[in-house]
Structure 1
Amino acid sequence: MQHVHSYIPAGQPSDPATAKVELPHDLRHLRRKLLHLDNGEMVMLDLKEAVLFADGDKLMLENGDLVEIVAAKEKLFEITGRDRLHLTELAWHLGNRHLPAEIDEERILIQRDHVIRSMLEGLGATVTPVETAFQPVRGAYHAHGGHDHHGHDHHDHGHAHEHDHSHDHHEHGAECGCGGHHHGHDHGHKHG
């Protein structure tokens, strides 16, 4: 069985791929995994650090052959607003909920969630069911727990205690999945 220890990001010059592997967004964050290719073969991915792969990235096999990552079509909601400012406001509401979202200039894509759909429509958004590839913004992806092989370092950034919160209902602990990072919430609440 061939092993993969390196990859070529999408858009960089490379030879054509000899095989493909189709994966939804939540299975494209990989470090070590047995992959089933479209030609019936299997390869062992074994990287030093976890990588969040995008559509079009290519895995390099030991024999020099390339396997292309294909983003599987997923059942999503396409969100559009009245204008760009409105779309930005909708993105803010989604970001507040730590939802994986793919954000373009004209639309936002999220996984189908009917509670979120109702909220968005209440805010004036147009929400349309679509089936397409999904590449969420990287930061939103890392807000999820459940992975023990992140390629980034959470042990000691040297700033875990430099934020002085005078109240504790916004404190983040390990259970929130954000790694204790400050998310830029505005703590200067004003009450009229």
Structure 2
Amino acid sequence: MRRALSLHRPGDWPADRARASITLAWADRHRRRLAMTDDSGGEFLLDLPEASLLAEGCGLRLSDGEWIAVRAAPEAVVDIACHDAESLIRIAWHIGNRHAPVQILEGGGLRIQDDHVLVGMVEQLGGHIVRHRAAFHAEGGAYAAGEHHHA
């Protein structure tokens, strides 16, 4: 079986040489060792030295020298906006207090995975929501050294 032995961040690998891609939802993109199937049905073993975030645009280097591009799958998300920064900060605090992953959007909004309990809370706090399908790229957190990425 083919083995993916190293992960390379966007811009640190020859993306034009990718022979395959793998499209994963947020919950499936933090891995170390797992049998996986690329988007064209090819099987490989993810065999990294440590658990890593497989972020959009990363490349997996296979033992045979081939590359697999990592893609973020569209999933059910909720974009959050507020009329003022204070309200948005309050909502961000409440989301963080529940240890829910959150993505900070360019332009000042937030994105969370679609969860009816969190959405209800956000609406009660005055947030305006838009439900749709998009890639989710949560913040890595204070202790996720080197794993701060944005789309």
TM-score, normalising length: structure 2: 0.86
Aligned to 1:160: none
Task: Mark the structure with the bigger radius of gyration.
Answer: 1
Instruction: Please give the alpha-carbon distance, in whole angstroms, between the structure 2 residues aligned to 1:18 and 1:116.
Output: 39
Letter in 2 for 1:11: G
Secondary structure, counterpart of 1:82 in structure 2: coil
Q: Residue 7 in 1 paired to residue 7 in 2?
A: yes
Q: Indicate the structure whose relative CO is greater, using CA pairs within 8 Å and at least 6 residues apart.
A: 2
Q: Is the 8 A contact 1:100 1:141 kept in 2?
A: no
Shift of 1:140: 8.6
Q: Matches of residues 1-192 of structure 1 in structure 2 within 5 Å?
A: 1-16=1-16, 17-105=18-106, 106-139=108-141
For structure 2, the 5+ residue unaligned runs are 145-151
Instruction: Please give the alpha-carbon distance, in whole angstroms, between the structure 1 residues aligned to 2:81 and 2:91.
Output: 9
What is the aligned length? 142
Q: Is the 8 A contact 1:32 1:46 kept in 2?
A: yes
Q: Deviations over 1:128-179 (max 9, x none)?
A: 101000111112998xxxxxxxxxxxxxxxxxxxxxxxxxxxxxxxxxxxxx
Secondary structure, counterpart of 1:93 in structure 2: helix
Instruction: Please give the alpha-carbon distance, in whole angstroms, between the structure 1 residues aligned to 2:141 and 2:114.
Output: 19
Aligned to 2:149: none
Q: Deviations over 1:5-52 (max 9, x none)?
A: 112101224142110001101111110011101222111111111101
Say which is worse superposed, 13-22 or 28-37, in terms of deviation: 13-22
Q: Is the 8 A contact 1:34 1:45 kept in 2?
A: yes
Instruction: Please give the alpha-carbon distance, in whole angstroms, between the structure 1 residues aligned to 2:13 and 2:35.
Output: 26
Secondary structure, counterpart of 2:141 in structure 1: helix
Instruction: Please give the alpha-carbon distance, in whole angstroms, between the structure 1 residues aligned to 2:130 and 2:143.
Output: 22
For structure 1, the 5+ residue unaligned runs are 143-192
TM-score, normalising length: structure 1: 0.69
Instruction: Please give the alpha-carbon distance, in whole angstroms, between the structure 1 residues aligned to 2:134 and 2:119.
Output: 18
Give every structure 1 segment of 4 or more consecutive aligned residues whose post-TM-superposition deviation is greater than 3 Å: none
Identity, in percent, stands at: 37
Q: Is the 8 A contact 1:6 1:47 kept in 2?
A: yes
Q: Is the 8 A contact 1:21 1:37 kept in 2?
A: yes
